[in-house]
Amino acid sequence: MRQSRDVWIEAAALVAIAFTLAWGGRALLATLHAFAPAGVALLGAAVIAMSLAIRRVYRAQAPDRLELTRYVAYVTAFALAIWAVASPARWVVGATIAMIELAIAFDLIVLFARRSQT
């Protein structure tokens, strides 16, 4: 019972993050652009951390394709965010927000796929 409730709490948190990002994503990217060196460093650290997570999952005995897909979606979103912070173009900002929303959707799919397997 506890695990089921935790899954729903995590799903609700991801949905809240997605709505917040959809509502204020442009402002967040504009703020990161105002502090571009710190923003790029922060996002670069996130890319490195996610790349290490991809490496860990890939080197497992049986690589989990769902986890790999989720991590690659986040790395792609972070790479677009770095591009939006370093050199913002009109289309990059929208593409970044859309990719992060897609990564969150993949995260929700993986979350509920894990729940159905247990």
pLDDT recorded at residue 73: 93
pLDDT recorded at residue 118: 62
Chain Cα centroid distance, residue 33: 19
Which DSSP letter does residue 13 get?
H
Please say whether the beta carbons of 110 and 66 come within 8 A: yes
Block means of pLDDT (10 residues each) for the chain, 118 residues, are 77 94 93 94 94 90 84 93 91 93 93 77
pLDDT recorded at residue 63: 78
DSSP per-residue letters across 47-104: HHHHHHHHHHHHTSSS--HHHHHHHHHHHHHHHHHHHHHHS--HHHHHHHHHHHHHHH
Cα–Cα distance measured from residue 69 to residue 65, given in angstroms and rounded to the nearest whole number:
6
Task: State the pTM of this model.
Answer: 0.85
